[in-house]
Structure 1
Amino acid sequence: MTVLIAYGTLEGQTAKIAHFINDVVRETSYETKLINASGHPRCLSQWQLE
């Protein structure tokens, strides 16, 4: 299973937290996709969500 970690940040603090979460999740053997959603369309249709 792949875990999507999407975040938006202005000053970089949220990015630091998202990267920390990414590292923790990967330690549990899940794959991750880390995306800075700032400036991206808010469409999740490309993802298979459960």
Structure 2
Amino acid sequence: MKHSRGIFEKPPVVGKNYEIAYSRGQGKVIGEVSQEQAAKAEQKRSRSI
């Protein structure tokens, strides 16, 4: 998924995963997510589709 770079306080780093919350169509970065947490979230997402 693509996001506007403006939602990041610092420039995003390639290879890192970020948790993003949405409100009224606007994204806000909550924090960084570990590779393991990102993999688990991706598995859940792929099963629900």
The question of a shared fold, defined as TM-score above 0.5 by the shorter chain, is answered with no
Q: Indicate the structure with greater helix content.
A: 2
Greater relative CO (CA pairs within 8 A, separation 6+) = 1
Q: Indicate the structure with greater strand content.
A: 2
State the TM-score, normalizing by the size of structure 1.
0.32
State the TM-score, normalizing by the size of structure 2.
0.33
